[in-house]
A = this chain, B = another copy of it.
Amino acid sequence: MTSAAPRPADPDHLWSVDEHLEDILTTVHPLEPIELQLLDAQGCVLVEDVTVPVALPPFDNSSMDGYAVRVTDVAGASEEFPAVLEVVGDIAAGTADPVRVGPGQAARIMTGAPLPPGAEAVVPVEWTDGGLGEGPVTGMHARSLAPEGAAGHVRVHRSVEPRAHVRARGSDVRAGDRALEAGTVLGPSQIGLLAAIGRGTVRVRPRPRVVVMSTGSELVQPDEPLGGGQIYDSNSFALTAAARDAGAIAYRVGAVADDAVTLRSTIEDQLIRADLLVTTGGVSVGAYDVVKEALSDVGDADEAGGGVEFRKLAMQPGKPQGFGSVGPEHTPLLALPGNPVSSYVSFELFVRPAIRALMGLADVHRPRIRATLTADAPLSSPKGRRQFLRGTYADGEVTPVGGAGSHLIAALAHADALIVVPEDVESVEPGTEVETVLLR
């Protein structure tokens, strides 16, 4: 799943956002394809070119409810001088052996039913008396209530051209046509087409299984009483939801205490169901930074480039980050900082693209646009760090919400965009165009 990527040797190297992202995207490869039931493949990327095995429609069939006729039998027919034809039976949709239509005869035929031998066209029921011997009708009586409709005589009020109201075999797709190309993302209408050509299963890259775990001895689960020095765990909830939103099957693991042995064994337990592991917290310079402690010197050290590397990024928020792989399958792991806003921004920038790369999607990134900054005062930004400020976007304008403080989770919940301030910019005036990442 992962392979060794070249990494700067200097442990004090300050990584740029782009370097870190590139390291992730060159390391994380699409998951191996599997055969899935059609509806389980929704949102997945097709890995095979799908060819049409049978023409659609598979046989000439009626596009209307009406009567299958020979063209010469209804030539010149009008309401005043109708053609009177013998009704030789019904042809319902699904009929395998439709009744033959001979000269002077008609078969009552339903939409989608096969055009019977002998017939050349279909006359819609509205152009007939429906076999009732009176004027034009607007429809047929239900067969179960009026079985006599399939017998007797019908008066036809209009002539038809050959093939009128007939859908020709293969007029939608022909056998051998390319139905869908490898790389197609399967949405409702692609799933509909696959079903229509008889495909019950399809070969796709599966949704990645992402295990999200937060770390921190201060974390308490919501709805539990909060003791001194404690806060509620929010990262595992927000990032599990975000992983699903990105297309993953996400599993939330409750907060793990700051104990390296516990964390290592929790990660080992979770490996069985993980294509990607995401942790939050414990990646900074503190004496209790358990993720760093637990993973710095373990992992898959048996392979060059394996293991988890902790680095400092030239960004705000989100400076401390870990990335690498763990376990016998070299499962990729992203270790995000613990602050809720830092972890969410880090998820958007690094984890979401990783999930989408695992899915085999061509476009792994959120849309980015240029927007005009609307603000009361200039934005300030630390030199040498790329800043990601939370904002709201509408109609070409983006407005910051909350401040630059990385703990403003309330403001984050009202943001739908990230404002990007480059490394070399320390102040942005209102009215300036800024790069904006749309979070929706």
Q: Are B407 and A167 in touch, CB under 8 angstroms?
A: yes
Q: Are A240 and B198 in touch, CB under 8 angstroms?
A: no
Say yes or no: is A287 at the interface (Cβ < 8 Å to chain B).
yes
Q: Are A233 and B171 in touch, CB under 8 angstroms?
A: no
Complex contacts, A12 vs chain B, CB 8 Å: 138
Known: A237-B38, A285-B139, A288-B92. A229 touches B410 (CB 8 A): no
Determine which residue in A94, A139, A146, A289 has the highest number of CB atoms from chain B within 10 A of its CB, and name it.
A94
Say yes or no: is A111 at the interface (Cβ < 8 Å to chain B).
yes
A side interface size, CB within 8 A: 112
Say yes or no: is A353 at the interface (Cβ < 8 Å to chain B).
no
The distance from the CB of A393 to the nearest CB of chain B, in whole angstroms, is: 14
A52-95 to B contact mask, C-beta < 8 Å, 1/0: 10101111000101000000000000000000000000101111
Q: How many copies does the complex hold?
A: 2
Complex contacts, A221 vs chain B, CB 8 Å: 200
The distance from the CB of A282 to the nearest CB of chain B, in whole angstroms, is: 9
Say yes or no: is A39 at the interface (Cβ < 8 Å to chain B).
yes
**Of B98, B143, B177, B241, which is within 8 A of A287 by CB?**
B143
Q: Are B98 and A192 in touch, CB under 8 angstroms?
A: no
Say yes or no: is A284 at the interface (Cβ < 8 Å to chain B).
yes
Q: Are B38 and A217 in touch, CB under 8 angstroms?
A: no
8 Å CB contacts to B: which residues of A178-205? 179-180, 187-201
CA A230 to CA B292, docked complex, whole Å: 62
Say yes or no: is A108 at the interface (Cβ < 8 Å to chain B).
yes
A65-B289, A125-B286 are known contacts; what are 18 more A-B pairs with Cβ within 8 Å?
A38-B237, A56-B410, A58-B226, A96-B228, A96-B229, A98-B229, A112-B218, A112-B231, A112-B338, A113-B218, A113-B229, A140-B285, A149-B287, A172-B409, A179-B410, A193-B409, A198-B223, A198-B226
A-B contacts, 11 of them at CB < 8 A, read: A57-B407, A58-B231, A65-B286, A92-B217, A92-B288, A113-B229, A172-B408, A180-B413, A188-B241, A190-B413, A192-B234
